Amino acid sequence: MDIIVCVKHVPDTTEAEVVIREDQRGIKTEDLPYVINEWDEYAIEEAILMKERLGGTVVAVTVGPEEAEATLRRCLAKGADWAMRIWDEGLEEADGFAIAKVLHAAIKDMKYDLILTGTQAGDDGYAVVGVALAELLGIPHAALVKKIELKDGSAVVHRELEGGLEEVVEVRLPAVFTIQTGINEPRYVSIMGIKRARKKELRVVSLSDLGLTVDEVLQSSWLTIKRMYVPPPKKQAVIIQGSPADVAAQIVEILKSKGLM
């Protein structure tokens, strides 16, 4: 089973104060730590689990600057066989579809039975790269996958739907699956894994190596960020003070005024 996993190096804003840039088209990332995208962490783990059961290879691919190699090294330390980083400075403005076009150019001539991506990226949340890549490759896809059962030439996948529903579909291979969090329990990176990762191949590829130009890729972008801002508050919270009896009485009055009692 030969598997390609597309991963992304994203800023970790979990415990950080997010500040909008002066041009209002993004956030300031200078002081933010970067990590592997949460959904992609589950995708690479799922690929490695399949490799451990069935044999084959796992290749990690990212579109990102030199700093993104930290995420690829993490994938290699977990068990990926080799990795590829694709970059050109002009790709900073690329949207999800443009990134899918770059990945398509890199992957289309590679050997694979399955391509995994995270359901979405933690920095933009577009959830478009995986499904767009499948369309460009002309192969089936399934999104929000939370369980995979491989068969001969196909896979039975469980998809998470809205409202707590789940859909089970059989998809012929090769295919692209976008992985939902919770499909597995990602492993920790071991010291031995880090040492082994240093000896594994990490290829660096430019757009020209793929037969693409920056203008050609950016012309494929569907979305352009015009303005990013923090929405103004519409209502202010009311702090109720007093004794427990007074607070209870005030809450009752508020509920009555809203027609809830």
Nearest Cα residue to 176 out of 161, 155, 162, 160:
155
Q: What pLDDT is stored for residue 231 in this prediction?
A: 85
Tell whether the torsion through CA atoms of 168, 169, 173 and 178 is positive or negative. negative
Q: What is the arithmetic mean of pLDDT over 135-152?
A: 97
**Is residue 18 pLDDT above 90, yes or no?**
no
Whether 47 contacts 3, CB under 8 Å: yes
**Is residue 148 pLDDT above 90, yes or no?**
yes
Per CATH, domain 2-218 is 3.30.930.10:
no
**Is residue 107 pLDDT above 90, yes or no?**
yes
Q: Specify whether the backbone of 127 is left (phi greater than 0), alpha (psi in -120 to 50) or beta.
A: left
**Buried/exposed 76-100: b ≥16 CB within 10 Å, e otherwise:** bbbbbbbbbbbbbeebeebbbbbbb
Q: What is the arithmetic mean of pLDDT over 11-35?
A: 87
Looking up tokens 């793929």 gives 210
So where are the chain's domains?
2-218
Joined tokens for residue 4: 């390609």
**Is residue 236 pLDDT above 80, yes or no?**
no
Whether 44 contacts 179, CB under 8 Å: no
Q: What confidence tier does 213 reach under pLDDT thresholds 50, 70, 90?
A: very high
